Amino acid sequence: MRSISDPFSPVAKSELAIQGTEPIPAEVYHCPKYFELERDAIFKCAWLQLGHVCELPDDGAFIVVPVEVAKTSILITRVKGGELRAFHNVCPHRGTRLVSDCAGRATRFTCPYHAWTFANDGRLLGAPDADNFYFDVSASHLPEVAVDVCGGFIFVNLQREPAQTLRQFLGDLAPELQKIPHAQATTFSEYTYEVQANWKLTYDNFQENYHLRFIHPRSGAAAGGPENPFGYPEGYAFHDPHRTQTIWSNPNPPVKPFQAVAFGALANSIAAAGGNFGVNTYFGVFPNLFVLGKGMTPFSQCIMPIAPNRTRSIIRLYWNGDDDSAAKRFGREYATALAMDIHSEDRDMIERGQQGLESGAISHIHFQSQEVLCRHLYNQVDQKVKAYQREQGDL
């Protein structure tokens, strides 16, 4: 891990140069060939966050999550005894998509095409006219993938036996993720949106504060203060392939009366649930997840690539306990609406950036020191792409 603190100091620029200073090729944000390399080099072998344990509270619960970048859909189930299992959502007979519901409860799943039936642990329970096949169909179980949990988040690796366990992959981030409010969450607020932009360009927008004062002058007003007018982070740390930053908190943010009611309700809710207000840490989990550890904004965003210039963002705010009072409901709804308001401003700018890059007008882009996490993401992606090309004999 490499840590850098006090980015406002005169030496910050030279320290942050540890990640490099050279221009970044623009084509990696729109080239279809590069996107295909990312698909194979990263998303088909990395641990991907696809859910949260609160979505599968009891035996028999299941969720289905599309993973377009890997051209698949993943079925995650909780089997008898509480264990989580994960499978490609396909019938091994003819490859038919097995489950169409996005969530529910079931101890067995039946293929709609030829009625092959499977237990929720993946075992084949029955296949009509099984004796007419030219092989023993009894071993035709659902194609399984690796699944594990950290900090309440469900991670899946599309390889059944990954090169690294989830804990090995997360490294020193694993114990830190266990400390944040998300780990104890029992419910969440969610909204999703699609943006016509590359997944890295989309992610980069949310890991630098250089833009706050320009496109969020109203919604982001609380981010800055006299001591730090532009709301820059207090420090950075690199946990290859992941990254973190320490978020600066304005001790005296401007708060309107209705906001004070909402924030007060959130604070009271957190205190009633055990007082875990989290940490001022932004966790950038490679390749496509970032999490804010603060209890007042227990936030996560999963950036799901769909195409070279199309991305789906899944935003969640995690809560402990039900909305059992009007005040708590108001606080949570306000926090979600505030996030949506900010993202509506981001979305337009991200798409404008994609349009400019696809025009071919510029061959490279330039990151400054406050965009060091963007550079770190590019470095990690490109290293893995080049390693994959070497393995395939293409480099």
What DSSP string describes 238-277? EETTEEEEEPP--SS----HHHHHHHHHHHHHHHHTT---
CB-based burial of residue 237 (10 Å sphere; 0-12 exposed, 13-18 middle, 19+ buried)? middle
User: Which amino acid type is present at position 138?
Assistant: S
Q: 242 near 166, Cβ under 8 Å?
A: no
Mean pLDDT value of segment 130-159: 96
Residue 117 has which token pair? Answer: 């039936």
Strand partners, 300: 291, 316
How far apart are the C-alpha atoms of 149 and 158, rounded to whole Å?
15
Lowest mean pLDDT among 12-16, 306-310, 381-385: 12-16
Q: Which residues contact 221 (CB under 8 A, 6 or more apart)?
A: 254
How far apart are the C-alpha atoms of 205 and 84, rounded to whole Å?
33
CB-based burial of residue 10 (10 Å sphere; 0-12 exposed, 13-18 middle, 19+ buried)? exposed
Determine phi and psi for 386, rounding to 5 degrees: -65, -35
Over residues 264-300, the pLDDT tens digits come to 777 777 666 665 656 789 999 999 999 998 767 789 9
On the question of pLDDT at 94 being above 90, the answer is: yes
Instruction: Please give the distance of CA 79 from its chain centroid, rounded to a whole number.
Output: 25
Q: 84 near 75, Cβ under 8 Å?
A: no
Lowest mean pLDDT among 89-93, 195-199, 214-218, 259-263: 259-263
Give the per-residue pLDDT at 10: 39
Q: What is the mean pLDDT of the chain?
A: 90
Strand partners, 31: none
User: Which amino acid type is present at position 329?
Assistant: R
Say how many C-beta atoms besides its own lie within 10 A of residue 309's C-beta: 21
Interior/surface letters 84-121, b for 16+ CB within 10 angstroms, e for the rest: bbbbbbbbbbeeebbbeeeeeeeeebbbeeeebebbbb
Q: 177 near 154, Cβ under 8 Å?
A: no
Over residues 104-120, the pLDDT tens digits come to 999 999 999 999 999 99
Q: Is 183 helix (H, G, I), strand (E, B) or coil?
A: helix
Q: Which of 190, 317, 334 is nearest to 261 (CA)?
A: 334
Residue 134 has which token pair? Answer: 């030219």
How far apart are the C-alpha atoms of 246 and 373, rounded to whole Å?
12
Calculate what percentage of the chain has a pLDDT beyond 90: 69
Residue 249 has which token pair? Answer: 């908190």
Give the per-residue pLDDT at 7: 45
Residue 125 pLDDT level (bands cut at 50, 70, 90) = very high
Say how many C-beta atoms besides its own lie within 10 A of residue 306's C-beta: 14
Give the per-residue pLDDT at 329: 87
Give the per-residue pLDDT at 255: 72
Give the per-residue pLDDT at 2: 57
Residue-range domains of the chain with CATH: 1-44+172-395 (3.90.380.10), 46-162 (2.102.10.10)
Angle between helices 257-272 and 326-358 (to 10 degrees): 110
How far apart are the C-alpha atoms of 123 and 153, rounded to whole Å?
25
Residue 11 pLDDT level (bands cut at 50, 70, 90) = very low
Residue 97 has which token pair? Answer: 């998509």
Residue 83 has which token pair? Answer: 């264990």
How far apart are the C-alpha atoms of 290 and 316, rounded to whole Å?
11
